């Protein structure tokens, strides 16, 4: 997935929802907490992208027979993710 094809509003929503869950003291944020934001197959693409870019950390659980992502657990914002979330908020406030 390339940056140009990503929905920036969805990325902001995902980062915001992860941050909200952590502020509500949800200790094990997983993809189930984010399913309401987009379809499950698309969600994994976004989560993997965010992890690859260093915006989130988390443990990916794959199905052993197909090695396809099944679940991501222990999702947290990294320092870079927190800065990106603030940057999104400032950009939206200006627009």
Residues ≥6 apart with Cβ < 8 Å to 60: 48, 51, 69, 71, 72
pLDDT at residue number 3: 47
Containing domain of residue 15, as a range? Answer: 3-94
Q: What is the pLDDT of residues 1-57, one digit of tens each?
A: 454 456 888 999 999 999 999 999 998 899 999 999 998 889 999 999 999 999 999
pLDDT at residue number 16: 96
Predicted TM-score (pTM) of the model is: 0.84
For the chain, the domain total comes to 1
Looking up residue 44, the CATH number of its domain turns out to be 1.10.10.10
Whole-angstrom distance, CA of residue 95 vs CA of residue 92: 5
């Amino acid at each position: 997935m390339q940056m140009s094809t990503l929905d920036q509003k969805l990325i902001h929503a995902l980062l915001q929802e992860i941050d909200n869950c952590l502020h509500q003291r949800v200790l094990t944020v997983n993809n189930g907490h984010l399913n309401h934001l987009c379809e499950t197959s698309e969600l994994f693409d976004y989560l993997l992208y965010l992890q690859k870019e260093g915006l989130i950390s988390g443990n990916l659980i794959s199905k052993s027979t197909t090695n396809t992502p099944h679940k991501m657990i222990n999702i947290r914002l990294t320092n870079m993710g927190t800065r990106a979330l603030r940057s999104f908020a400032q950009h939206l406030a200006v627009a």
